[in-house]
C-alpha cells in the first residue's frame, strides 16, 4: 500500500520518467472489445486518450500498440488488473472493501479528484517543476472519426494536442483527466453504443436467437461474420461483483468531486475564461466522460446478470449514481431531520439530463423483479431499496417533468442542432473552453435520449399505462409473496411442533406431499419471515405512493388473480382455469410453479402395494413380503370377502384390516384418472409391506431390547405385542364404525 500510494515510491518513479519523456508500448489487444475492434478497423475512438498514440509495427505485423507516457502506462495496467484478476478460491471470503486494490482506487480518486483545494503537484525529484504533458505524435496512418452525436468537447483532433502543452493551466488537471478517462475506458467501455443500437433491431435479435439455437451455418452463412461480432460484443464480457463495486466507488467519488463546486460556479453564467480548469473539469466529468458508457454498462448488467442475490451490487451502483444529493456538501444538514428528505429542485437538471438512467433502467428492474422469487429476503430487500429511492419526495415529480419535456413537440430542431454541435475555437486544454449554454431544457432532454437510444428510439414513459401495468403485476406478486412467506412460516411451525419424540430417533416419516418446496426461509427461521414481510410491505407502500395506486385497485386485482387464501390460510393452488379436460394453468400459474410460490397437492393415486420402493424400506424384503401377501390373497380371497361382508363386529374388524380406504375421499386432479377410478374398486386383501420398513424393524428391536431389561423373553414379548395390537385394533374398529354412523 505504501509502495503504490499516490505519494509513494512507485509514483515518484513515474513522475521522474515523465520528466524524461519516456514512451512505453501498451498492446491494443489489452483494451476493451469495442475500442480494440475500432482501432483494428482503422477507426480512431472518439476519446482524446487515444489521439496520436496508435503505433503500427514497422515490419507490417498484426500487433498494434499505444505509445503511452509513464503515467498513462501505469494507470492503464492498474485499471487492467481489475478486469483480468483471477477469482479467489471458494474457501476464501474476502470483503472487497478490505482489499488493497479497492483501497488504492479510493486513494487515487481522492488524490486526483479532490473535493477541496486543487490537485497536488507531482512529487518529482527533478528541479524542472511539474512534469510535462506528453509530446504529440504524428499518426502512422489516417483514421476516421468514431461515435454518434458527440459534442465538440470530444471532437478533439490531433492538431489540438500540441496546444495542451502550451497552456500552463492545463498542467493542473491533465493527470486527473487521464486517470478518469483510463478508468472509464477500461472499466465501462466493454459495450459500444453502436452495437447496442444494432442489437435493439428485430433482425439482430433474430440472429442472436439463431446463434444460440445453433442453427446450421448453411442456412445462415451470409450473416455469420457480423453475427460473430455481434455475439462477441454482446456476451463476451461479464463483469464480476468486485468490478461492479469498484465502479460504484468511482461514481461516488465523481459525485462528490462534481458537487464540490461552489454555488456561484454551478450557474451557467459562471462559465468564463477566468474559471480554472479544475472547476471546468468538475462540471464536465460526469456528462462528458461517464454518462453514456455507464448507461450501456448498466444496460448490459441488467440484461445479462443472473437472477440471484448477487445483483445487489449492480443495484447499489445504479442507485448511487441516481442520488448525487447523497454526496453533496449539505447532505449532513439535510439528513439531520427525522423525516424523509425532499429532493431539492437544484437536482432537476441532473434528473432531466439522465432521464434514461431513471426511467428505462427502472423498467428493466421491473422485468427482473417479476422473474425473481420475492419470498427470498435478499430479493425482497432489492425491491424495497429501489422503491424507497424512487419514492423520495419530489423525485417522481422531477422524473415526470423530464418525460413531459421529452414528449413536447419538436420545434426548429435544425437551428437548435446547429447551435448545440458547433465547435468553438479551442485554445489550451480540451476542457478549457465550452460551447454556449443551451437554455432550452426540452431540447437538452431530447438530446440526451437521442444520443443514447438513437433518433428512431421508441420511448416508454415511466408513468405511462405500460409501465403502470408492470407495477400492478409487481404489486400482485408482492402480495402473493407475503402470503406465501406466512404460509411457509406457519407450515414449518406446525410441522416442528407436531413431530413426536420418536422423530429424534428417525422414526418419524417425512411428508412427501408437502404443499411448499424448500425455501431459504426454512433455514433462516422466523426472523427472515419478519424481514421479508417488512421489506415487501414497505416496498408496496412506496410503489403505491409513486404511482398513486389505491387500496381498492390492489384488492380488486388480488381477487381477480385468485390470491385470496383458502379456508386454512395456506396450501393455495396455482392460478388456473377450469376447462373441458380439467384445470388449465394460466401464465401466472406457471410463474408460481416455476418460482416455487405455489404447487398442486400431489398424492399417490395408484395401488399402494405397487408404489416404488422408498429409501426407508429394505428392497429385497419388500419384494419377498409382496410375493407372500399375493399368494395368501390369491388362495384365501373368497374367505376374506365372506368375512368382510359380515354385519357384526368380526366383519368390521376384518374390513378395518383388509379393506383399502375408498378412493372417493381422495381429490383426483387428473381428468384421465377420474374416468378410470370408477372400475378400480379392489376386494379385501392382506398387506405385509409395513414389515419391510427400517422404522418398523427398529421399533420391534427396540421393544424386544426394552423387554429384555425386564427379564421378558422374546416369545412372551411377541405375545404381549400381538395382544396390545389387537386391543388397539378393536378400539380403532369401534371408532371407525361410530364415525361412519355419524356420517350417515
Burial class from Cβ neighbours inside 10 Å (0-12, 13-18, 19+) for residue 267 reads exposed
The answer to whether 70 and 133 are in contact (CB under 8 A) is no
Q: Using DSSP bridges, classify how beta strands 65-68 and 24-27 pair: parallel, antiparallel or unpaired.
A: antiparallel
CA angle 185, 189, 193 (to 5 degrees): 135
User: How many CA atoms lie less than 13 Å away from 62 in the CB half-sphere?
Assistant: 2
d(CA 535, CA 388): 10
Burial 166-204 (b: 16+ CB within 10 A, else e): ebeebbbbbbbbbbbbbbbbbbbbbbbbebbbbbeeeeb
Helical residues (DSSP H) of 26-172, grouped into ranges = 33-40, 70-83, 100-112, 162-166
What pLDDT, on a 0 to 100 scale, did the predictor assign at position 89?
Answer: 63
The DSSP annotation for 183-242 comes to HHHHHH-SS-HHHHHHHTSHHHHHHHHHHHTT--TTTSGGGHHHHHHHHHHHHS----HH
pLDDT, mean of each 10-residue run, the chain (744 residues) = 94 90 89 85 81 74 83 95 75 73 94 83 53 43 39 34 44 86 92 62 55 43 42 63 94 93 58 70 90 92 91 96 89 50 90 94 94 91 96 94 84 41 36 45 84 83 91 89 77 54 43 42 62 90 89 66 45 73 79 75 75 89 91 88 86 81 49 50 80 91 91 90 89 78 49
Helical residues (DSSP H) of 391-464, grouped into ranges = 395-406, 413-421, 441-453
Whole-structure pTM value: 0.66
CA angle 167, 184, 434 (to 5 degrees): 40
The 3-state DSSP class for residue 550 equals coil
- Nearest Cα neighbor of 142 from 264, 51, 30 is 51
- The CA distances from residue 364 to 41, 193, 250, 360, 551, in Å, are 33, 18, 23, 6, 26
Grid cell, residue 614, equals 422408498
Sign of the four-CA dihedral 486, 489, 493, 496: positive
Grid cell, residue 60, equals 507490417
What pLDDT, on a 0 to 100 scale, did the predictor assign at position 508?
Answer: 44
The answer to whether 714 and 720 are in contact (CB under 8 A) is no
The answer to whether 488 and 522 are in contact (CB under 8 A) is yes
d(CA 54, CA 44): 9
- Nearest Cα neighbor of 534 from 360, 367, 388 is 388
The answer to whether 461 and 467 are in contact (CB under 8 A) is yes
* Element (DSSP H or E) covering residue 480: helix 465-498
d(CA 679, CA 694): 34
- Say how many C-beta atoms besides its own lie within 10 A of residue 514's C-beta: 14
What lies within 8 Å, CB to CB, of 330 at 6+ separation is none
What pLDDT, on a 0 to 100 scale, did the predictor assign at position 607?
Answer: 76
d(CA 514, CA 21): 74
Grid cell, residue 544, equals 403505491
The answer to whether 654 and 646 are in contact (CB under 8 A) is yes
d(CA 276, CA 102): 30
d(CA 17, CA 515): 71
* Element (DSSP H or E) covering residue 50: none
Torsion of CA 73, 74, 75, 81, to 10 degrees: 110
214: left (phi over 0), alpha (psi -120 to 50) or beta: left
d(CA 452, CA 450): 5
Amino acid at each position: 500500500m505504501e509502495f503504490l500510494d499516490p505519494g509513494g515510491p512507485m509514483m515518484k518513479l513515474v513522475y521522474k520518467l515523465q520528466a524524461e519523456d519516456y514512451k512505453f508500448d501498451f498492446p491494443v489487444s489489452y483494451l476493451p472489445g469495442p475500442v480494440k475492434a475500432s482501432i483494428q478497423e482503422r477507426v480512431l475512438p472518439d476519446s482524446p486518450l487515444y489521439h496520436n498514440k496508435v503505433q503500427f509495427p514497422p515490419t507490417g505485423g498484426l500487433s498494434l500498440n499505444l505509445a503511452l507516457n509513464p503515467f498513462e502506462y501505469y494507470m492503464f495496467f492498474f485499471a487492467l488488473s481489475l478486469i483480468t484478476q483471477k477469482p479467489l478460491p471458494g474457501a476464501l471470503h474476502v470483503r472487497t472493501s478490505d482489499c488493497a486494490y479497492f483501497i488504492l482506487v479510493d486513494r487515487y480518486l481522492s488524490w486526483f479528484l479532490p473535493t477541496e483545494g486543487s490537485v497536488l503537484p507531482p512529487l518529482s525529484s527533478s528541479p524542472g517543476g511539474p512534469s510535462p504533458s506528453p509530446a504529440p505524435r504524428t499518426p502512422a496512418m489516417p483514421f476516421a472519426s468514431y461515435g454518434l452525436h458527440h459534442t465538440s468537447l470530444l471532437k478533439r483532433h490531433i492538431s489540438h494536442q500540441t496546444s495542451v502543452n502550451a497552456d500552463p493551466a492545463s498542467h493542473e488537471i491533465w493527470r486527473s483527466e487521464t486517470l478518469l478517462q483510463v478508468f472509464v475506458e477500461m472499466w465501462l467501455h466493454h459495450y459500444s453504443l453502436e452495437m447496442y443500437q444494432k442489437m435493439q433491431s428485430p433482425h439482430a435479435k433474430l440472429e442472436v436467437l439463431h446463434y444460440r439455437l445453433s442453427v446450421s451455418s448453411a442456412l445462415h452463412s451470409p450473416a455469420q461474420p457480423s453475427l460473430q461480432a455481434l455475439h462477441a460484443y454482446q456476451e463476451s464480457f461479464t463483469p464480476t461483483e468486485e468490478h461492479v463495486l469498484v465502479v460504484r466507488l468511482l461514481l461516488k467519488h465523481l459525485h462528490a468531486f462534481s458537487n464540490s463546486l461552489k454555488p456561484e460556479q454551478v450557474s451557467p453564467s459562471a462559465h468564463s475564461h477566468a474559471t480554472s480548469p479544475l472547476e471546468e473539469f468538475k462540471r464536465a466529468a460526469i456528462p462528458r466522460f461517464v454518462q453514456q458508457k455507464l448507461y450501456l454498462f448498466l444496460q448490459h448488467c441488467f440484461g445479462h446478470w443472473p437472477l440471484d442475490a448477487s445483483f445487489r451490487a449492480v443495484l447499489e451502483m445504479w442507485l448511487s449514481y441516481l442520488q448525487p444529493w447523497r454526496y453533496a456538501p449539505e447532505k449532513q444538514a439535510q439528513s439531520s431531520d427525522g423525516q424523509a428528505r425532499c429532493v431539492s429542485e437544484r437536482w432537476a437538471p441532473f434528473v432531466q439530463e439522465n432521464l434514461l438512467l431513471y426511467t428505462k433502467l427502472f423498467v428493466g428492474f421491473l422485468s427482473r423483479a417479476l422473474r425473481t422469487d420475492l419470498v427470498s429476503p435478499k430479493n425482497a430487500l432489492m425491491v424495497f431499496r429501489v422503491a424507497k429511492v424512487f419514492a423520495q419526495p419530489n423525485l417522481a415529480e422531477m422524473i415526470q417533468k423530464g418525460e413531459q419535456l421529452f414528449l413536447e413537440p419538436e420545434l426548429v430542431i435544425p437551428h437548435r442542432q446547429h447551435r448545440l454541435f458547433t465547435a468553438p475555437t479551442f485554445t489550451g486544454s480540451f476542457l478549457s473552453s465550452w460551447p454556449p449554454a443551451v437554455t432550452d431544457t426540452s431540447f437538452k432532454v431530447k438530446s440526451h435520449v437521442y444520443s443514447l437510444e438513437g433518433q428512431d428510439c421508441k420511448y416508454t414513459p415511466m408513468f405511462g399505462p405500460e409501465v403502470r401495468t408492470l407495477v400492478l403485476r409487481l404489486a400482485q406478486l408482492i402480495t402473493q409473496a407475503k402470503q406465501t412467506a406466512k404460509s411457509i412460516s406457519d407450515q414449518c411451525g406446525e410441522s416442528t411442533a407436531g413431530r413426536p419424540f420418536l422423530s429424534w430417533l428417525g422414526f418419524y416419516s417425512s411428508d412427501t406431499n408437502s404443499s411448499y418446496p424448500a425455501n431459504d426461509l426454512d433455514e433462516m427461521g422466523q426472523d427472515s419471515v419478519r424481514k421479508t414481510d417488512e421489506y415487501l410491505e414497505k416496498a408496496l407502500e412506496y410503489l403505491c405512493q409513486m404511482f398513486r395506486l389505491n387500496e381498492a385497485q390492489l384488492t380488486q386485482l388480488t381477487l381477480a388473480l385468485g390470491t385470496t387464501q383458502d379456508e386454512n390460510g395456506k396450501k393455495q393452488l396455482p392460478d388456473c382455469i377450469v376447462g373441458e379436460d380439467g384445470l388449465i394453468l394460466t401464465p401466472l400459474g406457471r410463474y408460481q410453479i416455476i418460482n416455487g410460490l405455489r404447487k398442486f397437492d400431489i398424492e399417490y393415486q395408484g395401488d399402494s402395494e405397487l408404489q416404488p420402493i422408498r429409501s426407508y424400506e429394505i428392497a429385497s424384503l419388500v419384494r419377498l413380503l409382496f410375493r407372500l401377501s399375493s399368494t395368501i390373497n390369491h388362495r384365501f380371497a373368497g374367505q376374506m370377502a365372506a368375512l368382510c361382508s359380515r354385519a357384526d363386529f368380526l366383519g368390521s374388524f376384518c374390513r378395518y384390516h383388509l379393506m383399502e380406504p375408498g378412493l372417493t375421499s381422495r381429490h383426483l386432479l387428473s381428468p384421465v384418472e377420474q374416468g378410470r377410478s370408477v372400475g378400480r374398486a379392489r376386494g379385501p386383501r392382506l398387506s405385509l409391506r409395513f414389515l419391510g420398513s427400517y422404522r418398523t424393524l427398529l421399533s420391534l428391536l427396540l421393544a424386544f431390547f426394552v423387554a429384555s431389561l425386564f427379564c421378558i423373553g422374546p416369545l412372551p414379548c411377541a405375545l404381549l405385542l400381538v395382544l396390545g395390537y389387537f386391543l388397539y385394533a378393536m378400539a380403532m374398529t369401534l371408532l371407525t364404525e361410530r364415525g361412519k354412523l355419524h356420517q350417515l
